[in-house]
Structure 1
Amino acid sequence: MLTQLDHNAEKVSGDLEALYQLEKVQKELAQFAYLIGTWKVVGQPAYETWEWKTGRELVGHGYAMLDGVEVIRERLLIVWLDGEVSYCATVLNHNEGREICFRHNLGLEIEDVFVNPAHDFPKRIVYKRLEEDKILVVLSDEHEKEVRLEMILYP
């Protein structure tokens, strides 16, 4: 039979483990802080905006400006999912409205790679930091098809 002291010790141990996990998640996600803000695709009326949400995820959306109106094209999320960082996208009028997630496969000082080999296109998403206010996003099937989007930090 557990005494009150044993019960309290178990609760404190559980609380400490939860705190450790939260700190681990926040540390893992902090590497994506460079994305926070609004990015404009060079030569297009297209944008991507990212912000922190609850310290456990980065939330974003891709949109176009058409006649001064923001038209959302996709909902984006970088989140700790099943023990790893994932990039999840819900693209309007694609994939029957389902969210598609990509596992964070590689994180270098200037490049983050997300992969989902089961998805048709893209299978790979790369965010590459070119300068403090410039990134390159590359969507590819890892073989033939590739879309490259240079983005600048929008004031």
Structure 2
Amino acid sequence: MNNLKRIALLTGIGIFFCVNGFGQRLADANWLLGRWEQKTPKRTIYETWISNSDSSYSGKSYLLKEKDTIVLETVSLLQKEGILFYIPTVTNQNSGMPVSFKLTFVSGNKLVFENPAHDFPQKITYALISSDSLLAEISGTSNNKEQIRQFPMKRIL
């Protein structure tokens, strides 16, 4: 195999891995770290992300009700063999078991995770709008209807 063919083959493999989310580092999601809030007329929901290690972030979505903290969801963002996984455990869903979503797209300010086999959502997206604003979105098919739910958030820490 000549050098030109080797270069073409390696370039193709590199593009395949980048397009499919391989070779991404957890650090590509470091803009997610911190405390975020979504205010609605009825309540305020908080989402907090911390770094556990160079291969793991933890997230928690919760609301405050008087003196109580009500956890809605816990999330692990894990890097395994060069692939990022978003693994939520949602209160009162999936029998309390975590569900894995694989990174399918990443840019400097957007992360898209998908699990086509999950009932709903099949896609989870985080997009950084500005240094203090992000849009989280869940989407997919539920009851044979396409659905999108958006969660605009502001950074508070």
2:122–2:140: 8 Å Cα contact kept in structure 1? Answer: yes
SS of residue matched to 2:26: helix
SS of residue matched to 1:144: strand
Q: Which has the higher helix share?
A: 1
Which residue does the alignment assign to 2:126? Answer: 127
User: Does the alignment pair 1:38 with 2:35?
Assistant: yes
The size of the alignment, in residue pairs, is 131
SS of residue matched to 1:150: strand
User: Does the alignment pair 1:62 with 2:64?
Assistant: no
SS of residue matched to 1:136: strand
**Alpha-carbon deviation of 1:54?**
2.4
**Distance (Å, rounded) in 2 between the aligned partners of 1:92 and 1:153:** 24
1:45–1:66: 8 Å Cα contact kept in structure 2? Answer: no
Which residue does the alignment assign to 1:118? Answer: 117
**Alpha-carbon deviation of 1:46?**
0.5
Which residue does the alignment assign to 1:147? Answer: 149
Letter in 2 for 1:94: Q
Give the direction of change, closer, same or farther, for the CA distance of 1:83–1:110 in structure 2 (3 Å limit).
closer
SS of residue matched to 1:49: strand
Q: Max radius of gyration: which structure?
A: 1
Name structure 1 gaps, 5 residues minimum. 1-26
1:62-86 Cα shifts (integer Å, max 9, x gaps)? 1011114211111101101354110
2:61–2:71: 8 Å Cα contact kept in structure 1? Answer: yes
Structure 1 residue runs of 4 or more that deviate by more than 4 Å after TM superposition: none
**Alpha-carbon deviation of 1:130?**
0.5
**Distance (Å, rounded) in 1 between the aligned partners of 2:39 and 2:31:** 18
Q: Which has the higher contact order (CA 8 A, sep 6+)?
A: 2
**Distance (Å, rounded) in 2 between the aligned partners of 1:91 and 1:113:** 19
1:42–1:149: 8 Å Cα contact kept in structure 2? Answer: no
1:79–1:85: 8 Å Cα contact kept in structure 2? Answer: yes
What percentage of aligned pairs have identical amino acids? Answer: 28
1:121–1:140: 8 Å Cα contact kept in structure 2? Answer: yes
SS of residue matched to 1:100: coil
**Distance (Å, rounded) in 2 between the aligned partners of 1:68 and 1:32:** 32
What TM-score do the two structures reach when normalised by structure 2?
Answer: 0.77
